[in-house]
Structure 1
Amino acid sequence: MLLSLVLLGISTAAAQKTPPEAPRGFDQPTAGSATGRIDSLSYPSKTVGTVRKALVYTPPGYSTRKKYPVLYLLHGIGGDEKEWLKGGRPQVILDNLYAAGKLRPMLVVMPNGRAMQDDRAVGNIYGPDKVAAFATFEKDLLTDLIPFIDKTYPTLPTRENRALAGLSMGGGQSLNFGLGNLNTFAWVGGFSSAPNTKPPEQLVPDVAKAKKQLRLLWISCGDQDGLLPVSQRTHEYLYEHRVPHVYYLEAGGHDFKVWKNGLYLFSQFLFKPVDVAALPTYTVLGTPAATNVRNANYPQIRPDNRAVFRLKAPGVGQVQLDLGRKYDLVKDSSGTWTVTTDTLSRGLHYYSLVLDGLPVADPASATFYGMGRMASGIEIPGRETRFYALQDVPHGEVRLKRFFSKVTNSWRQCYVYTPPGYEASTANYPVLYLLHGGAKTKQAGPGKAKPI
């Protein structure tokens, strides 16, 4: 039996909406539609001391008599200014969006983010000189490329009309440079951002400033991407500090399937009014819960803590979710049962699945003694919970101690927490005795316990 649990982040008003995804054929040319144009340009870089290259997409109907906002679109560690063109077909995606009336006309600049004399993706692309060049590109972008674009093309040269996004290494650059230069960029997107991404505390040290100046912050990644923890840690920090953003997770790995979908969705937001309240609806999947068993993708948690339970059980006639109140699951043609819950309050929730009247625990999630019996448990995170998370601070120790009880005429056990520095200290300590509740376990011998 395969069981999966998904926790959703969709507001009540948007509960019936399907999370947005690119439709079939979004990256294929449409016959008869107007097309934009890709041009190659060279610009002088004082930062690197050479002439550098970039590509520029101009939209259908482009005119030098109009002024346009600009999206700077960055590549990954193994690419160059042509990577998006070769693997992502951005001009086709954008042409189709223009044909559907979903974009505000904009320029898209695709530069080489490896700011060094020989900026080709050759040799050891992970070499320290090449990695350092990706960081150097911040200066090249701000002091050389952007001024050149604003001088050469009819742009709207304000932060409100300038966006920065990228994939992988370029996603890390976008978050680093965009959030680090909010006077230059109001729209920032990271697609599958790489480990070059700064820790969130450095990305957004001034939360109030970020809330005030950001028009949109987009973070997306595939659920099977090994770099997912980079995006997840950034989202968790932003969520805790109430910085509005999109955290878009979808089925996929570290590839253009995910990145093209990111561009398709992110570009539709740009240079338009943003409904901040609707941002939590922009996701397909959630984050695996902390209470999952190892390697279990579900349960998953989404921004507003709604939940979807999925169970592969084609031979079962009825499935319910008992989560304090009961929900009926609906079976599809493949035998997968699904239900969406209401928004769940933060903290630990006991639950069980009821298969044809039989309550069972979820094998994909940790179990606890609750509801008067063994049951599954799902931890719903809340804001301001970092105090309860494991952090890089001095740690005490938890010790198991056995003692003989004259009252019960038996050996019993207890756990003792000693604070950091206890072993080296000669001080005497006060003691707190911390007692459990009614769902305790009764010892029946070494290594044996049963609930009472």
Structure 2
Amino acid sequence: MKKSICSFAFLLLILPRAFSQNTVAPAAAGFDMPRAAIPHGNIDTISYNSSTVGNTRKALIYTPPGFSRQKKYPVLYLLHGIGGDEKEWLNGGTPQVILDNLYADKKIEPMIVVMPNGRAMKDDRATGNIMAPDKVQAFATFEKDLVKDLIPYIQKNYPVYTDRDHRAIAGLSMGGGQSLNFGLGNLDKFAWIGGFSSAPNTKTPEELVPDPAVARQQIKLLWISCGASDGLITFSKRTHDYLQKNNVPHIYYIEPGVHDFKVWKNGLYMFSQLIFKPVDTTSFSKYEVAGAPAATNVRNAGYPQILPDHRVIFRVKAPEARQVQVDLGRKYDMKKNSEGVWTVTTDSISEGFHYYSLIVDGLAIADPASETFYGMGRMASGIEIPLTGNNYYALRDVPHGDIRIRKYFSKITGSWRQLYIYTPPGYDANTSVKYPVLYILHGGGEDETGWATQGKTDLIMDNLIASKKAEPMLIVMPDANVGGAAFDEAVLKKFESELKEVIIPLVEKNFHADTTATKRALAGLSMGGIHTLYTGIKNTNMFSYLGVFSSGWIQPRQGSIAAAQYDYMMANAAAINNNLKALWIAMGGKEDIAYHNCQLMLKKLDELKAKYTYSEYPGGHTWPVWRNNLFNFAQQLFK
């Protein structure tokens, strides 16, 4: 399913690079190289008394070419990162060179730039353990030092404007987090705010901008930039997502790069050209956002890359190939350049996990740049499209459970097999607790790894349990492949025996499992949904909850499995309705390949007066849908 784009402003984010007179282009070659035949500003060291720290502190100050004490200047406070001090920008970013060149080209307003030490403590050097708690705390303490000590010193000793409209703050990494924290936390003092590759010290968006209406009114420019391959990009992205959702104008500029001065110097170059000038907020959305490597890429692989609108850029080097395609449900023809590199950009891809393959001269293979997963009956590449908004399967700072692997010999199949099992947080410590159990089944062409990897079961449950939306439970993920055609009755019956005679006794003997029917649930997707219907409906004395995802019996024919099932349900309607606390049926919308069969089944269930709950989540027959199904179904269980 293609992801819809909700606003025209966001659509502009993905247009090709085209900078109007109201936008600023990225730095060209030579922007940070000294020019001899132009006026130059000066860099000096200043000392000021800090009542916050209780000693004299140092900062660097840049005064522009032609500086005169007979006129007034706006001020930019430019902050360093966690491993630097007041000289980090000077040594790594040569801001005086960048600004001198911009003045010579008449691209920026004359301004004073103050580069302080953002580590507000008596021993403020970047020595020893820079991550020590007292040093990290000192970066937060600097807010008071900045507002109460440094700004008053600058206003007393330099010819500067003292109102918020003439004061800006920006910084890199830790200093980027400080800039967002201090700038947005003191809108009475700063009208221009910039965060370059902001670090984990950045407050949550809700803390930064608790009142979007006030922010819209007071902020003249809010700039957020980062390298697309920077591991800290999530902190910039979450802020951008929140601001966009709440219609707070800002520039979100993502460029190719990592966590280094190449990105930060370009941030200063662009940000400095926009401040202390009239601002056209309608131009903000025109700034390019580069693609970021997918989280499912193997280490150090730059492609595939995901664009903000969820289009994907694929690239593969195959100089001898005659034709290369990407098969992502739809096939995309790739184009080869003179170096033998094939590339293509897809349409917008829906959020979550998707299988894909490269087709090289007709042969489907896994992309060597991507992690592989067992799906489609073979190992295939997979790509994870980030989920915006409330990411319920994000890795969060909450107690985490474990996914364990249990090998066992099956008397039903006569072979060694294995299952995966999720144990909730605190499982090993709480040995006296008996946990309810959800048995959850994969789809056709998959195996026991599906729910554990593609399904993100552990993260979904960790977050639900931490927020008290779901009961702590065991989740058993067995291999439902027992040989033969998936929908043959003999196969369905064989897995029923495997589950009842081998898997459940194994789990209840070896894990802290509650053995009562009211504390046992069965669910599955697609083929696993058929197993759930076949085994679950026949054994409601064993399972009190059934979840059927993207599945359904076909139109019953005389003598078919479905017809036999419906006959059984009719004969045992009272017991089934009495035993089942929930029969939860979900589909991935009309584009789900099982949608038609499911609707026929629902009509039949209505005729039989069977109690069920039906839900739809758009996305088709895909893992994004099934993750959401688990997220919602788990909240219904064992209450």
TM class, shorter-length: 0.7 to 0.9
Greater alpha carbon shift after TM alignment, 164-173 vs 89-98 = 164-173
Q: How does 1:380-419 map to 2 (within 5 A)?
A: 380-381=385-386, 383-387=388-392, 389=394, 390=459, 391=463, 392-394=466-468, 396-400=473-477, 408-412=492-496
**What SS class does the counterpart of residue 545 from structure 2 fall into?**
coil
1:115-264 mapped onto 2 (5 Å cutoff)? 115-223=120-228, 225-238=230-243, 241=246, 243-264=248-269
Structure 1 residue 224 displacement after superposition: 5.2
Residue 76 of structure 2 aligns with which residue? 71
Distance 1:61 1:406 in 2: 89
Which residue is equivalent to 1:4?
A: none
Which stretch of structure 1 is more off in the superposition, 217-226 or 186-195?
Answer: 217-226
Q: What is the 5 A alignment of 1:357-396?
A: 358=363, 360-363=365-368, 364=370, 378-381=383-386, 383-387=388-392, 389=394, 390=459, 391=463, 392-394=466-468, 396=473
SS in 2 for 1:259: helix
335-344 or 76-85: bigger deviation: 335-344
Partner residue in 2 for 1:14: 15
Matches within 5 A, 1:246-285: 246-272=251-277, 273-276=279-282, 278-279=284-285, 281-284=287-290
Separation (CA, whole Å) in 1 of partners of 2:295 and 2:242:
16
Please give the alpha-carbon distance, in whole angstroms, between the structure 1 residues aligned to 2:307 and 2:316: 19
1:288 equivalenced with 2:288 (yes/no): no
Question: What amino acid maps onto 2:222 in structure 1?
Answer: L
Comparing 104-113 with 88-97, greater Cα deviation is found at 104-113
Q: Offset of 1:90 from its aligned partner?
A: 0.3
Provide closer, same or farther for how the CA distance between residues 305 and 49 of structure 1 changes in structure 2, counting only shifts above 3 A: same
Alpha-carbon distance in 1 for matches of 2:220, 2:374: 43
Which residue is 2:635 aligned to?
A: none
- Is the 8 Å Cα contact of residues 10 and 306 (structure 1) preserved in structure 2? no
Bigger fraction of residues in strand: 1
More helix by share: 2
- Name the % identity: 59
Counterpart in 2 of 1:85? 90
- Structure-2 separation of matches of 1:245 and 1:367: 39
Q: d(CA) in 2 for partners of 1:292 and 1:243?
A: 33
Distance 1:432 1:242 in 2: 42
In the alignment, the residues of structure 2 paired with residue 327 and residue 15 of structure 1 have an alpha-carbon distance, to the nearest angstrom, of 20
Counterpart CA distance in 2 for 1:289 and 1:195 is 21
Tell me the equivalent position of 2:545: 431
Following superposition, the deviation at residue 262 of structure 1 comes to 2.1
CA distance 1:362–1:106, shift in 2 (3 Å):
same
Contact map agreement 2:252 2:287 (CA 8 A) in 1: no
Task: Tell me how far 1:110 sits from its aligned partner.
Answer: 0.8
Q: Check conservation: 2:324, 2:358, Cα contact below 8 A.
A: yes
* Equivalent residue, structure 1, for 2:105: 100
* Max Rg structure: 2
C-alpha deviation, 1:118, in angstroms = 3.7
Q: Residues of 2 paired with 1:279 and 1:254: CA distance?
A: 23
Counterpart Cα distance in 2 of 1:231 and 1:315: 41
CA contact (8 A) 1:179 1:188 kept: yes
Partner of 2:309: 304
TM-score, normalised to structure 2, is 0.57
Displacement of 1:78 in angstroms is 3.3
In structure 2, what residue type is equivalent to 1:81? E
Question: 2-side partners of 1:408 and 1:121: how far apart?
Answer: 65
Distance 2:152 2:40 in 1: 27
Distance 1:408 1:46, change over 3 A: closer
- 5+ long unaligned stretches in structure 2: 1-9, 395-458, 483-488, 505-511, 520-543, 552-591, 595-639
Cα root mean square deviation, aligned: 4.0
Please state how far the C-alpha of 1:226 moved relative to its aligned partner.
4.9
The Cα of 1:32 is off from its aligned counterpart by 1.0
User: Structure 1 residues 379, 238: CA separation in 2 closer, same or farther (over 3 Å shift)?
Assistant: farther
Which protein has greater RCO, CA pairs closer than 8 Å, 6+ apart? 1
The structural deviation recorded for 1:312 is: 1.7
The residue matched to 1:386 in structure 2 has which SS? coil
Q: How many residues align?
A: 425
Gaps of 5+ in 1: 1-8, 417-421, 441-452
For the residues of structure 1 that align with 2:157 and 2:35, how far apart are their CA atoms?
30
Question: Are the aligned partners of 1:292 and 1:366 in contact in 2 as well (CA < 8 Å)?
Answer: no
Aligned to 1:183, what secondary structure does the other structure show?
A: coil
